[in-house]
Amino acid sequence: MLKEKNFPIEEFRNLYSTKGIFGNIIYGAPIPSKGFKHAVAMCQNWSFRLDPKARILVIGAGAGYELIVFCKYGHECYGIDFYIPNVEAVRERSAIASASAIPFKDKEFDMLFCTEMMEHVPLKMTDKILAECKRVAERFYFTIATVKDTGFNTHINVHPSHFWIKKFEELGFEVEHAEMNPIVYTVIGGKHIIKYPSGNGGVVIYGKC
């Protein structure tokens, strides 16, 4: 568990829960994370080639939508967060843990998927969290908001896209692609192509750990 000073765990769990912002229609409920759209797009191989039956770890799994998407597409997926929703499919594959001390072995996963989380963690924890992500996976896919979430004030680690790209490179990640405000493509009903902007002025970064 996180032991950094002045980081209220219970307050965090209350804020990031279905009774907190995850349940707030203004914030985006019932699917609060833009990561849901990225997960679907990845599984449909629109923006990223995801190997069949990949073993995936979702960091900051939140309400579990991305985790469920990956499992439905046949991948072996697990998630960690400080909050686990009361959904059986998610609960059985989730652990309450800190991203700064991921409870898995080195290179245990083919893919680490993390969306809309890094902007929520203290700046001083950034390097430690990314180093842990690099340790446990072969490849990575991050989306990070680059603007404040006015009205909620939960984005406490906000930086321009170039800050995050440089950060990943400095920590030894092999960045294959980085894009500001990406468009996410999703197929609905087998034929309808829907295009979603990522939102939050975000950046998507992926490559090899």
CATH of the domain at 87: 3.40.50.150
Looking at the DSSP bridge assignments, the partners of residue 43 are none
- Let me know if residue 3 belongs to a domain: no
CA–CA separation, 44 vs 193, rounded Å? 11
Beta strand 174-180 with 109-115 is unpaired
- Let me know if residue 119 belongs to a domain: yes
Q: What is the DSSP letter of 50?
A: P
Q: Which structural domain range is residue 29 located in?
A: 9-208
Burial of 74 (0-12, 13-18, 19+ CB in 10 A): exposed
Return the H-helix or E-strand segment holding 79: strand 76-81
Within a 10 A sphere around the Cβ of 201, how many other Cβ atoms? 16
pLDDT at 12: 78
- Let me know if residue 151 belongs to a domain: yes
Residues of the chain with confidence (pLDDT) below 50: 1-6, 192
- Let me know if residue 1 belongs to a domain: no
Number of domains in the chain: 1
CA–CA separation, 53 vs 127, rounded Å? 30
- Let me know if residue 19 belongs to a domain: yes
- Let me know if residue 122 belongs to a domain: yes
pLDDT at 3: 39
pLDDT at 34: 75
Quick check: 207 and 140 in contact, CB under 8 A?
yes
pLDDT at 197: 54
Torsion of the alpha carbons at 118, 83, 66 and 26, rounded to the nearest 10: -80
Global pTM reads 0.88
For residue 181, give both structure tokens: 């405000």
CA–CA separation, 125 vs 123, rounded Å? 5
pLDDT at 149: 86
- Let me know if residue 54 belongs to a domain: yes
- Let me know if residue 195 belongs to a domain: yes
